[in-house]
Amino acid sequence: MRDYFEQARPTITFEIFPPKGSGDLASIFATVDALASLAPDLISVTYGAGGTSRENTVEIASQIQNSYAIPALAHLTCAGNSKDQIDPVLRTLSDNGVKNILALRGDLAEGERLKDFSYAADLIRYIKSRYDFRIFAACYPEKHIEAYSMDEDIRCLKEKTDCGVDVLISQLFFDNELFFRFRDQARAAGIETPIIAGIMPITSASQISRMVSMCGATVPEKVQKIIRAFGHNSMAMKEAGIAYATAQIVDLLSTGVDGIHLYTMNQPDIAKRISENIRGILYSLRIKRG
């Protein structure tokens, strides 16, 4: 198996989330089966995102790495973890051959408090000082929802990447111009880390409003029009969402993006349709880049 860092560029990566609570792992492995058949460059597994389980990330990431022979990226958060709690998690991942960690602050559950790590950068420094993982981190084309300004967020991002981040993955966005502007700002601030664009296909009006309230992404008029026109019909909405995400990805690929990270929402049929739509484009880019 080729490691993520040996794959041809631009890379295509998928994100999945574990089932809620102790949940049934059979369904997530059925999702992984379908996604693996699309031969992504890496599959990432969330950790407690949106209130989902923190329990199964290690198990799922380890299976992806070993049983599916696809590089796995395990998300881990400051939220929910002291140094003593994170060490066994990191050791198990390392023992299981997982090489990549997406180190995040995470969002706190109601009444929860951060323990030994206040920011993702603290977690990154800790991991780098004791383990041999490649580190991924998050970035925000429209700034992080808590940041006062884009300048402030970029300053914090520079500090974070200076801790030894290998790859940045962006929050979802629906307007590529915002991503391009952010990327220019990051480069101007001296951030040279590859930036992978996070794309979430729109599948329903309720999904959009949930995501937007969580991360504050702008919903352009074009997307609002799609929701108004097709939101009442799930099949039509899905078709339109796949078409919109495909157009976003083609535009990003044509401007030399480092990679695309698809928030699959555990819906492999959508990932499959999008992968088929961009297969030829990806092939030609990879040949060109050599």
User: In sequence order, which ranges of the chain are alpha helices (DSSP H)?
Assistant: 25-36, 57-66, 83-95, 120-130, 150-162, 176-188, 205-215, 221-230, 234-254, 268-289
The CA distance from 270 to 274, in Å, is 6
CB closer to ligand FAD out of 57 and 246? 57
177 as an active site residue: the answer is: no
Question: Within 13 Å and on the Cβ side, how many CA atoms surround 223?
Answer: 24
Select the residue interacting with ligand FAD from 48, 241, 259, 268 (CB under 6 A): 48
Q: Specify the length of the chain in residues.
A: 290
- We find the least distance from the C-beta atom of residue 205 to ligand FAD, in angstroms, to be 22
C-beta contacts of 249-256 below 8 A and 24+ residues apart: 249/199, 249/274, 249/278, 250/278, 250/281, 251/176, 252/176, 252/179, 252/197, 252/199, 253/10, 253/278, 253/281, 253/282, 253/285, 255/180, 256/10
> Of 139-147, 181-189, 230-238, 241-249, which part binds ligand FAD (CB under 6 A)?
139-147
The one among 71, 135, 144, 161 contacting ligand FAD by CB under 6 A: 144
Near ligand FAD by CB under 6 A: residue from 138, 199, 237, 271 = 138
35, 38, 41, 47: residue in contact with ligand FAD (rule CB under 6 A)? 47
Distance CA(172)–CA(198), nearest Å, equals 5
| Beta carbon of residue 95, minimum distance to ligand FAD (angstroms, whole number) | 21
Instruction: Identify the residue among 28, 32, 86, 121 touching ligand FAD (CB under 6 A).
Output: 121
Residue 273 contacts ligand FAD per CB under 6 A: no
Query: What CA–CA distance (Å, rounded) separates 216 from 145?
Result: 6
Compute the distance between CA of residue 64 and CA of residue 43 in angstroms, rounded to an integer. 7
CB of 213 to ligand FAD, least distance (A): 13
User: Any contact of residue 11 with ligand FAD (CB under 6 A)?
Assistant: no
Instruction: Considering the candidates 15, 110, 159, 276, report the single residue annotated as catalytic.
Output: 15
Stretch that binds ligand FAD, among 145-153, 180-188, 223-231, 268-276 (CB under 6 A): 145-153
- Residue of 10, 19, 141, 198 interacting with ligand FAD (CB under 6 A): 198
* Cross-strand pairs, 195: 168
CA distance 35 to 42: 10
> Encoding tokens for residue 114?
């951060």
Residues 50-79, interacting with ligand FAD (CB under 6 A): 75, 77
Q: Site residues (CB under 6 A) for ligand FAD?
A: 46-49, 75, 77, 102, 104-107, 119-121, 138, 144, 146-147, 153, 156, 160, 169, 171, 198
Provide the annotated active-site residues: 15
